[in-house]
Amino acid sequence: MIHGTLAAGCFAGTVFGSGCAAGKMEPEAGFHAEKITVYRDGLSCCIRSYYSPELDIVRRISDYGSESAWLLPKGADIRQYDAYFCLHRTGDEYPATILDGYGPLSGNHGSAFLRRVKVPGHGFSAADTGKALRDGKGNIWRLVCDPATLLKDELLIHPDNRGTDGRPDFPSSAGKVLRRPDGQPLKIVSEKSGQMYPTNRITVCEFLLDGKEVLPEKEVRECAFLEYRFFHDVLSPGSLMRFLAENPGPEHSRFFTQEWSMMFADRAPGWYNRIPALMTVENRYRFQIHGAQVLERTTTWHAAGISGKQLEQMYPWKGGIAPRVDDGGYNGKYFDDAVEDLYIPKVKKIRFLDTEDPQKTLSFDFRRIASLPHVLNAGYYFTAKDCLDPADPPDRFVMLTGRGKYQYGLALGYSLFDGCTARGGRKAEREVMYHLYSSKKLYPYAYQVSNAAPGTKVRTISYKQYFDPAADPDIPVMYLHKELDSWVLYMGFFRKMPHKTVKLPQFLTGQKITVLEKTSSVKPGFSGVAEKEGISFQSGDDCGYLVLKFDRP
């Protein structure tokens, strides 16, 4: 068992509301909660926290980091979450790493070089697992599955690596003809791409109440925060093939699969635990009040010369939010008043072509909130040229949705003061900052490594948080969570405000305030210490933000 902890802290919150010159909002209209409620069933866990005066949010974690979310009325049983409104549903949430030469690995991904080929009369059996087949270019492919588990005449094959673990070189296709070990030809009728699993070796998977006590199964418990530790190795596909080359035979014919799977180290055969890792990932998630999840992630890179891009948070925007049919919203019919808007501070207005209609130009100004079409016939990679300041790339990505108005908010982001994304370290070894996909998935990149030396470690603090955009009509993007020992308040607004007061939770009273960043027109009206009346500021621009950090003196 590998052990590690985040810095401990108390989440004793009360009310997070706001007031303005035009009228005073009651504190109940803000966020408030002192604890979260949790319930575990095996490797799945439900985390309940405050969402709005009428609703709580339940996030269900399953499949080692994938999540779904439901909105429940106050007083509803956390165990009956799926009887209520599904805000989000997915089985593909744990982020992949995009490795040069491998493509997506880690997360829910296996080796992308698996091929399912149809070869009539191939005559192979489980006993041939691991044997070398050669294509027309001399590349070696190996049988990695018992053919008896597939359709008639089909084989699952995977190529050997012609390069090194750090600089791989895999053939992309087997071509038309494979040759048996004796040189006799095997004609390929068809070839389909796939993924080979398992390439993730889990070493730690546990849920800890307040970061200390193991959460027992099937008990409803309360805690200040729930720490979910998930550590794993991402194995080298080339090393897996080398093992098969040295150890062919039927005993391994049912181990590799094209179906998604991850392997626990303490349940794996000894040889699997000896396969070298390309990288080791240690995730420490903290689920908090206010619908927040903060992740401290440390990745150790093992293979010499390896390069890649790293996602730390991602979000497939699926569920019953805007589409008329719960099909993920990719191609379904939408309600006429469905809203799907995206807010990304620090980026320029972007333009790109519609892939279905090259004569049509799509234009978005995400720093002022941009409305996405119900069908987005395009994808776009944000790079340095799209940043207002390339040395200060975007760090938060916010979706606002609902029917006719903003009802649901979600923010993904990276810490401004700690880890590799801290402002002082964000010269941002990143070619790609963000990928806007055609299905409207949120793909923000945290960093990239180039030609890494073995033992290179990168540490990131990131977050994913649901929030109620209707809590304050002046500030539709407002959320509070704890990053390590500091509370951080993010605010984004889209109107001029001659004077604005935001009431803070009582536990922040007396804490030191640091302005992490703000737009130039924002003028703080508070001192360096949080007062019980809250904080005030003014802004002369119709588009701005203010991010504050709170620390105990």
Give yes or no for a contact between 189 and 183, defined as CB atoms under 8 angstroms apart. Answer: no
Q: What is d(CA 216, CA 322) in angstroms, rounded to the nearest whole number?
A: 36
- Which of the two residues, 426 and 87, has the higher pLDDT score? 87
User: In the predicted model, what is the mean pLDDT of residues 475-490?
Assistant: 97
- Of 45-59, 287-301, 335-349, the poorest mean pLDDT is in 335-349
Q: Which two tokens stand for residue 67?
A: 């999540």
Residues 6 or more apart whose Cβ sits within 8 Å of residue 159: 113, 139, 140, 141, 142, 170, 171, 174, 241
pLDDT surpasses 70 at 371: yes
Can you give the pLDDT at residue 42? Answer: 93
Q: What is d(CA 414, CA 412) in angstroms, rounded to the nearest whole number?
A: 7
pLDDT surpasses 70 at 321: no
pLDDT surpasses 50 at 4: no
Can you give the pLDDT at residue 318? Answer: 55
Q: What is d(CA 276, CA 256) in angstroms, rounded to the nearest whole number?
A: 17
Give yes or no for a contact between 463 and 294, defined as CB atoms under 8 angstroms apart. Answer: yes
Give yes or no for a contact between 47 and 41, defined as CB atoms under 8 angstroms apart. Answer: no
For the stretch 16-64, pLDDT in tens is 333 333 333 333 333 455 799 999 999 999 999 999 999 999 999 987 8
Q: What is d(CA 166, CA 303) in angstroms, rounded to the nearest whole number?
A: 5
DSSP states of 461-518: EEEEEEE-TTS-TT-SEEEEEEETTEEEEEEEE-S-EEEEEEPPPGGGTT-EEEEEEE
pLDDT surpasses 60 at 13: no
Q: Exposed, middle or buried, 304 (CB in 10 Å: 0-12/13-18/19+)?
A: middle
Q: What percent of the chain has pLDDT over 70?
A: 90
Q: Which residue has the tokens 């490594």?
A: 449
Q: Exposed, middle or buried, 131 (CB in 10 Å: 0-12/13-18/19+)?
A: middle
Q: How remote is the C-alpha of 27 from its chain's centroid?
A: 32
- Which of the two residues, 90 and 495, has the higher pLDDT score? 495
Q: What is the dihedral of CA 158, 159, 161, 166, to 10 degrees?
A: -40
For the stretch 442-472, pLDDT in tens is 889 999 999 999 999 999 999 999 999 999 9
Residues 6 or more apart whose Cβ sits within 8 Å of residue 217: 40, 41, 42
End-to-end CA distance of the chain: 36
The amino acid at 322: A
Which 3 state secondary structure label does DSSP give 265?
Answer: helix
Cα angle value 102/103/104 (rounded, 5°) = 115
DSSP states of 29-94: GSB--S-EEEEEETTEEEEEEE-SSSEEEEEEEETTTEEEEEEEETT--GGGGGGSEEEE--S--S
Element holding 363 (H helix, E strand): strand 361-364
pLDDT surpasses 70 at 225: yes
Which 3 state secondary structure label does DSSP give 19?
Answer: strand
Nearest to 40 by CA among 174, 190, 215, 180: 215
Q: Which two tokens stand for residue 506?
A: 């009582």
pLDDT surpasses 80 at 219: yes
Can you give the pLDDT at residue 329? Answer: 40
Q: Is the pTM of this model over 0.85?
A: yes
Using left for φ > 0, alpha for ψ between -120 and 50, and beta otherwise, residue 549 falls in: beta
Instruction: Check residue 459 and report its DSSP letter.
Output: E
Which 3 state secondary structure label does DSSP give 239?
Answer: helix
Beta bridge partners of 458: 299
Nearest to 297 by CA among 314, 315, 285: 285
Q: Which two tokens stand for residue 454?
A: 């073995």
Q: Exposed, middle or buried, 214 (CB in 10 Å: 0-12/13-18/19+)?
A: exposed
Q: What is d(CA 200, CA 471) in angstroms, rounded to the nearest whole number?
A: 41
Q: Exposed, middle or buried, 48 (CB in 10 Å: 0-12/13-18/19+)?
A: buried
pLDDT surpasses 80 at 317: no
pLDDT surpasses 70 at 326: no
